[in-house]
Structure 1
Amino acid sequence: MTYSIAAHDAETGELGVGVATHQPCVGAIVPWVEPGVGAVATQSFVNPSFGPQALALLRHGLDAPRALAAVLAADDRPEVRQVAIVDATGKSAVHTGEACIPYAGHRTGPGFSVQANMMLRPTVPDAMAEAFAAAQGPLALRILAALEAAEAEGGDIRGRQSAAIVVRRTASASDYRWNLRVDNDPEPLAKLRELAAIRLAGALEEEFEEAQSGSPEERLARARAAYAEARAIHPSDEQSFWYAVMALAPLGAEEEAAAVLAPLFERAPHWRELLHRLSFGGLEGLKARFPRDR
């Protein structure tokens, strides 16, 4: 089975697709996402051209139902296809061809569509929809919750192999913080959750770096809160290093920064060398406190 979700977050404007299957590299062919335009999941005897075709139609003003009708009308085997489209307004449309391998089905809700074929049990779409609706937090994590709910219902009758999540918010070339793929693994969703935790921790730190307004005290409070949340999600030495040198020390909390760095430098001296290679301001005290190894 391939099971997927295409979704829109009305609050943030994010669009995303999550997918899992018993085939390698599913992230290369099923999910298609364009910020401000739409999200497409194309599966079941995949016609990969559905992705760019549907996005082009959405870009030119068609809504999800009309875009879906157009791509199916141009296809020579719509009866074996399964495809879902969610546009930038949250309107969704989905098609499950009558010749898709059973169990096959779909379900839509506000701002999302879930679909699956070759299911072990026909309960997968309902489980995905309920999990997505009940989940909290960023769109990527709600998408992951839907995928995990599908797997809990038995998932693909053939087993597991690959999974992916793509979420976009803006057209910026740098807006690829949620482009996660597990291309070949016996437990792809477990690996995907691990990647999501790492990415979420990094995203929290990036949000702090992007929000440099307010007094030094306010910025320091935001830095501490973002770091605490990031560490709770995914503890890592790398996060502690960048937190200390990009947030604490430049904002005057040198003692706190030193306390964060000392155990890291003890375990991994190469981070001390990196400190001395950084050229931005506010690090002079730390460099004096932790001299370069000779």
Structure 2
Amino acid sequence: MTYSIVVRCPRTGEIGVGVQSHFFAVGAIVSWAEPGIGAVATQAMAEVSHGPGVLERLRAGDAADAALAGALAADPHGAARQVGVVDASGRTAAHTGSSCIADAGHAIGEGFAAQANMMAAPGVPQAMADAFAATDGPLWTRIADALDAAEAAGGDIRGRQSAAILVASGDPAERPGHGILVDVRVDDHEDPLREVRRLAELSVAYARIDEAEQLLAQDHPEQAVAIYDELLSAHPTNTEFAFWAAVALAGAGRPQEARRLADPVLGSGDGDRWRALLARLPPAGLTSQDVVDELLR
């Protein structure tokens, strides 16, 4: 079985899809999203082209139901398909073909469509719907909570293997390839839901590093320090976070705190690599030579 949920957050406008299956690399097949356009889950005897195809129809102005109907009308094997769609306005649609392996079904509501096939027990789509409606916070966490609820309701009759979470901005991307906020996949794992949640959390943290690096380049070390403090509080053993936090702290005139973080990194087994990287930062405009000298003292 595959169970999935496509969603839109009414507060942020973000759109996303989450999926789990006892099948290898399910995220490469099922999950589709485009910033400011919508999200699609295509599963069961999946026709992968329904992902980009439905998004193309949404981009052309179709609402979720019309986009899905148009795609299915051109599919001679629609009875074997299961598809969920949410558009950028939060309108939803879902289809469970009559040939999908039982138990199969879907549940739709404002801003979400949840679908499942080969369920161990009925009720998985509604469990996802209820969990999504009952939770708050970042969209990726609400998706993860919905997937956990699906598993608790019985999940896949075959077990678990792979999972994915994909979240896109609610605004159209200004440039191709931009606007994807979370894109993590677990292709083969004994506990894919736990692992995909861990990766999603780490993905969000690394996005914050990009923000902090931009602040460093703009000569705002104190603001960068605030971000690194937050990251290190959540990920105290992450070497990457510690290195960049040390650079930011030194640039903000806090050398003792900077060296406290930098010394274990620079003195580690990979210390030569980190010291070499540190020396490359001033030419790139990410810090000053004084900061490098301070950290290498």
Normalization by structure 2: what TM-score?
A: 0.88
Please name the residue that 1:275 is paired with.
278
Distance 1:121 1:78, change over 3 A: same
Please name the residue that 2:293 is paired with.
288
Structure 1 portions without partners, runs of 5+: none
Please name the residue that 1:241 is paired with.
243
| Aligned-residue identity in percent | 48
Report if aligned partners of 1:161, 1:183 keep a CA contact under 8 Å in 2: yes
Instruction: Write the letter of the residue equivalent to 1:4.
Output: S
**1-side partners of 2:17 and 2:198: how far apart?**
18
Q: What secondary structure, in the 3-state scheme, does the structure 2 residue paired with 1:61 have?
A: coil
Q: Does 1:61 align with 2:61?
A: yes
Please name the residue that 2:259 is paired with.
258
**2-side partners of 1:46 and 1:129: how far apart?**
22
User: Match for 1:182 among 159, 179, 186?
Assistant: 186
Instruction: Write the letter of the residue equivalent to 1:287.
Output: V
Report if aligned partners of 1:197, 1:233 keep a CA contact under 8 Å in 2: no
* Aligned pairs for 1:1-294 within 5 A: 1-169=1-169, 170-171=172-173, 172=175, 173-209=177-213, 220=222, 222-235=223-236, 236-245=238-247, 247-268=248-269, 269-270=271-272, 271-279=274-282, 280=285, 282-291=287-296
Distance 1:115 1:72, change over 3 A: same
**2-side partners of 1:59 and 1:93: how far apart?**
16
* Structure 1 position 115, deviation (Å): 0.8
Instruction: Write the letter of the residue equivalent to 1:227.
Output: Y
**Equivalent residue pairs, number:** 288
Q: Which deviates the most, 252-261 or 61-70?
A: 252-261
Report if aligned partners of 2:63, 2:91 keep a CA contact under 8 Å in 1: yes
* Structure 1 position 154, deviation (Å): 2.4
Q: What secondary structure, in the 3-state scheme, does the structure 1 residue paired with 2:107 have?
A: strand
Distance 1:229 1:277, change over 3 A: same
* Structure 1 position 210, deviation (Å): 5.1
**2-side partners of 1:233 and 1:135: how far apart?**
22
**1-side partners of 2:246 and 2:111: how far apart?**
39
Normalization by structure 1: what TM-score?
A: 0.89
**2-side partners of 1:277 and 1:215: how far apart?**
17
**2-side partners of 1:113 and 1:258: how far apart?**
50
Q: What secondary structure, in the 3-state scheme, does the structure 2 residue paired with 1:289 have?
A: helix
